[in-house]
Amino acid sequence: MATNHTEPMQTADAIGIEITDLSKSFGSRQILNNIRLNITPGSFHIFIGPSGCGKTTLLRLIGGLEIPNTGELAFHTQSASEDKRNKLSPSEMSYGFQEPRLLPWRTVKDNVGLPLELSGMSIEEAHQLVDEVLGKVSLDDATDLYPSQLSGGMKMRAAIARALVTKPKLLLLDEPFGALDEITKNRLDDELLELWKNFKMTVILVTHSLSEAVYLGQHIHVLASMPGRIEKSLDVSFQERTPQLRLTTEFTHKVAEAHKWLQRAEGVHA
Amino acid sequence: MSLSTNEEEAQNSVTSSNRVRIAVPAPLVGALLLCLFWENATRIFDIPSYVLPAPSDIFNAVLASDNQRLLFYATIQTGSAAALGFIIAAVVGILLGTLLASVRILRRGVYPLANLLQMVPIIAIAPLLNIWFGYGIVGVAASATIVSIFPVIANTVDGLRSIDPHLIELFNVYGANSKQRWRLLEIPAALPQIFTGLRVAAGLAVIGAVVGELVSGVLTDPPIGAVIASNLRTSKLEIVFAAIACSAIVGFSLFGLVSWCGQRFMGRWNSSQQREVLDDKLTPDSERKERYLIIFITTISLVLTIIAFLPKTTQSRSKEILSSHRDRTELTSVSLQLNWLPEPEFGGIYEAKRLGFDREEGIDLQIIAGGPGTPSGQLVAQKKIEFAVVDSTQIISMRAKGAGLIGIYASFNKDPRGIITHTKNAPSSLETLWHSNRMMAVEPGSIFMKWLSHKYGESQLTWVSTTGGLSQFKLDPLLAQSVFVFSEPVILKLQGIETRLFPISDSGYNPYAVVVATHEDLNTQNPRLINAMNKVLRRGWSSYLKNSVPTNRLLSKLNTSMSFEAMELALRFAKPFIIGDSEHLGEMKLNRWRKLKTQLSTLGLLDAAHEVKASDCFWQP
């Protein structure tokens, strides 16, 4: 019933997740051990940690791309917090991969429209939504270009647009801007924050950049490896997140704190 | 920033399209240069047209309206057969490839076997394709399909199997069903590779068709393969090369059509990707090198052209005959190239060697066995060898091209060619056979068929090629087939099939056959050697005809495809043709050479370039 809203009242619909005792191993290799995490609807969470700590695996478990060995994932919405499910439909959740994963034979417009096409939506309806979302990621001028004609940043924006076109209530992003240069990355971070505010969805983002983590996240979960576990969860609250924030001492202190925990997670003691 | 990159891209594409416009005639320039080198080489090295025709010879041959008609219909025929074969290969190949890609057990069990397709020596099974699929376009198309289908299958399988697993995951995230995945992901992802396979197949289909036609073309309006086969036989190489050029045209057209379809199907994204690969960047340095190369090539070709067209002051130094000047007391060692496997048609030659007649006459004779396509006439004309077995028509037609061939001994006084039918349904004569509506299997390009047309008029027969062996004859009780009297009838007789023979000579066309020929220069330089050779051959044949057993035993050892019994039977069938109406074995008469020459020129088979005198064609003691 909660999903029947036609008004874009997404706050009420954003997805929350309760993760209890989640473990995952590949063969004899234990990747994640007893992960417990509560993600409230509409919040912005960051997974950060040394490489190989299992942060991507955790994100894939949440996205349903992997099946946990033990433990449980329970999804709910704010408006019906007692109505717990352990599966999401493709229209509720979007997954942004490390790579843009665009189909080379489709134009930007058709790539972005792919999820709608797969859900069986009519072309007219899809066009409107696609144009809307392309405007939001500033790709209005590139709608008819093919991926090979795009720059790296444009490709990633197209991928984000594709993730947003279904108006997901949960957005999972796996190092989406990892391969981009600093300037482009910072600009896309700002765009992402803007989108998060507009769409009022729950976002979980995996990154290995501390400044990106602090800049974007309300909650930063530092993961330690062997086996993967949550070493520390930090809460970050800034009055306003604008490019100037990066220059404040408040920001650098928070980065330093996160850095300390990251080193601890890696087993390095300062 | 993104704006500036767009501008840059736009500029790049502008310059690249400029370059493309300049590059278009480059292959044409390349082809013209190649022709120039080729032309010069044939002139500088004085290569006769029966060894390698110059581009100008080919061009002149194409200008003749008869040849234009021939080549036009040949191209149409081959083009349609290749296109049909290609379409079958494309449709079946893509379906099969899809099946193999999606069913694991088939991929494991059948795909490796599909590899066999590309290892089939098509020339070996092409004759059988006639029997399986019938004569004409279907058999030829089957050959084209067999040759071209594998790249289609392999590229379809690879294309469908090598889809980015990342994209498959993407489709799974958005809950795509298998039909959507197939339509929206797998097919478009595999398409570029499938088209790569199709482009390769397009060229191969033409090769397959031409090879199929070499052995199985229907002979009314012959296709390219049959034109090549028949003109190789009469050593009209300029037509052969013109036909090769026609098959290249067919190949390019098919390739171009497939590429164009690919463009249409895959649209802009693929062409933009390909452009990046093809657009090799030209640095100032490489541009300078390119310019030097152009100057170099131009200079070289200019110099060569001047040399090639300079009037020749000295007689071109012809290669010396290997062993003509030897000590008189020693044996003169010479070689004789046969044009077929050791069989009774050469019995007298082997007999002479076996009994040492050559040594008694001061010669050490080495016999070199031949096989299908042995260019025996060319070898003698080029003075690569002293003696070779040829046909009297070959002597005349090669002399008409300026070759110095002369016949010194005719093993067969009467032409051993004939047409056989089953005894049961035999017509009363060659002429009634000619006007019946049977199917007739002949070798492509047989001169005697042209003669029969000339003599008896338009025929009702349906022409097919003999290269399918005897299977078709055994299957079809009404088939007529052209044969050598000592070959096919023998095989059939040994298998219990009785045949009726109609000798071609009944029609008045009666060339000397299995003629031992030499170069006229050798006769001028060393007439004693020719005299001796003639004597060796005459003694050999005379002895062989009296008692053939020891030599036939020897022959069946040298050529294991024929038993001793077969050798004996072959000789029995051949004997009347060897003797004919000659007073002395091996001798040739001026009036018969004259008659043959007249017949050939009546049929339009002689070049006007060199006037042939019948008395020059053969040796007289």
In a domain, A156, yes or no: yes
Kindly determine whether residue A118 and residue B175, on different chains, have CB atoms separated by under 8 Å.
Answer: yes
Segment B33-61, tens digit of pLDDT: 888 889 888 888 888 877 888 999 899 88
Neighbours of A141 (CB within 10 A): 13
Residues B503 and B522 in one domain: no
Instruction: Answer whether residue A127 is part of any domain.
Output: yes
**Of the candidates B2, B170, B188, which has its C-beta nearest A105's C-beta?**
B188
Together in a domain, B458 and B515: no
Ramachandran area for residue A152 (φ above 0: left; ψ -120 to 50: alpha; else beta): alpha
Do the strands B439-442 and B387-390 form a parallel or antiparallel pair, or are they unpaired?
A: unpaired
Nearest-CB residue to A103 (from B167, B266, B267) = B167
C-alpha–C-alpha distance, residues A37 and A202, integer Å: 14
Under the banding of pLDDT at 50, 70 and 90, the label for residue B218 is low
Across the interface, whether the CB atoms of B268 and A146 are under 8 A apart is answered yes
- What DSSP assignment string belongs to A25-91? EETTEEEEEEEEEEE-TT-EEEEE-STTSSHHHHHHHHTTSS--SEEEEEEEESTTTT--BS---TT
Give the count of Cβ contacts less than 8 A between chain A and B: 59
Give chain A's contact residues with B (Cβ, < 8 Å).
Answer: 63, 65, 89-90, 94-95, 97, 99, 101, 103-106, 114-115, 117-119, 146-149, 151, 153-154
Q: Which residues of B touch A182 (CB under 8 A)?
A: none
Do residue B176 and residue A149 have CB atoms under 8 angstroms apart?
A: no
Max CA distance (Å), chain A: 59
Same domain for B431 and B501? yes
Residue A188 within any structural domain of the chain: no
User: Residue B475 falls within a domain, yes or no?
Assistant: yes
Contact predicate A96/A176, CB 8 Å: yes
Does residue B14 register a pLDDT over 50? no
Write out chain A's pLDDT in tens, 270 residues: 333 333 334 445 888 888 888 888 888 888 888 888 888 888 899 998 888 788 888 899 888 888 888 888 888 887 776 677 878 888 888 898 988 899 988 889 989 999 998 888 888 888 888 988 888 778 888 888 888 888 888 898 899 889 888 888 899 999 888 777 788 788 888 888 888 888 788 999 998 888 888 888 889 888 888 778 887 888 888 778 888 888 888 888 888 888 888 888 877 654
**Interchain pair B170, A97: CB under 8 A:** yes
What's the pLDDT at A88? Answer: 81
Would residue B408 count as lying in a domain? yes
Are B402 and B486 in the same domain?
no
CATH of the domain at B372: 3.40.190.10
Whether B36 is in a domain gets the answer no
pLDDT score of B280: 57
Claim to verify: residue B402 and residue B425 sit in the same structural domain: no
Q: Are A151 and A169 in contact (CB under 8 A)?
A: no
- Asked if residue A117 is part of any domain, the answer here is yes
Query: Amino acid letter at B434?
Result: W
Question: Do residue B273 and residue A90 have CB atoms under 8 angstroms apart?
Answer: no
Of all residues in chain B, the percent with pLDDT exceeding 70 is 88
Residues of the domain holding A146: 100-167
Give chain B's contact residues with A (Cβ, < 8 Å): 2, 5, 9, 164, 166-167, 169-176, 180, 184-185, 188-189, 191, 266-270, 272-273, 276
Model ipTM value: 0.85
Are B100 and B165 in the same domain?
A: yes
User: pLDDT higher for B20 or B228?
Assistant: B228
Q: Which residues of B touch A90 (CB under 8 A)?
A: 173-175
CA distance linking residue B149 with residue A203, whole number of Å: 52
User: Closest partner residue to A146 among B169, B176, B269, by Cβ?
Assistant: B269
By Cβ distance, the residue of A63, A105, A114 closest to B269 is A105
Whether residue B452 lies inside any domain: the answer is yes
Q: Tell me, yes or no, whether B25 lies in a domain.
A: no
Structural domains of chain B, count? 3
pLDDT tens digits for A197-228? 887 889 999 988 888 888 888 898 888 887 78
Chain B residues with beta carbon closer than 8 angstroms to that of A65: 169, 172-173
Are both B393 and B525 inside the same structural domain? yes
Are residue B472 and residue B542 in the same domain, yes or no?
no
Q: For the segment B418-458, what is each residue's pLDDT rounded down to a tens digit?
A: 999 999 889 999 999 999 988 888 876 788 888 998 999 88
Tally the residues of chain B: 621
Q: What is the domain range of residue B405?
A: 332-413+511-616
Q: Do B115 and B173 lie in a common domain?
A: yes
B175 and A89 within 8 Å at the Cβ level: the answer is yes
Q: What Rg do the C-alpha atoms of chain B give, in angstroms?
A: 30
Residue of chain A whose alpha carbon sits nearest to that of B7:
A149
pLDDT at B323 over 50: no
Domain match, B488 and B529 both: no
Quote the pLDDT of residue B366: 92
CA distance A219 to chain B (A): 26
In-domain check, residue A161:
yes
Answer whether B174 sits within 8 Å of A63, measured CB to CB: no
Do both B443 and B555 map to the same domain? no
CA distance, residue A176 to nearest chain B CA (Å): 15
Contact B184 A99 (CB under 8 A): no
The last residue of one of the domains, among B460, B490, B507, is B507
**CATH code, B102:** 1.10.3720.10
Angle at B51 between CA B50 and CA B55, to 5 degrees: 85
Domain count across chain A: 1
Domain boundary among B477, B507, B537: B507
Give a yes or no: residue A267 inside a domain. no
Q: B166 vs A151: CB contact, 8 Å cut-off?
A: no
* Contacts (Cβ under 8 Å, ≥6 apart) of B539: B352, B357
Question: Best residue in A105, A109, A143 to probe B by mutation, most B CBs within 10 Å?
Answer: A105
Mutate: best of B9, B166, B171, B174, partner A, most A CBs <10 A: B174
Segment B469-519, tens digit of pLDDT: 787 888 888 889 999 999 889 989 998 999 999 999 999 999 999 999 999
Asked whether residue A226 is domain-assigned, the answer is no
Q: Does some domain include residue A139?
A: yes
Separation between Cα atoms, residue B180 and residue B194, nearest integer Å: 20
Please state the pTM of the whole predicted model: 0.70
Report if residue B18 sits inside a domain.
no
- Both B273 and B363 in one domain: the answer is no
Q: In which residue are the tokens 């001492």 written? A: A249
- A143 contact residues in B (CB cutoff 8 A): none
In a domain, B203, yes or no: yes
Q: Which residues of A touch B174 (CB under 8 A)?
A: 90, 114-115, 118-119
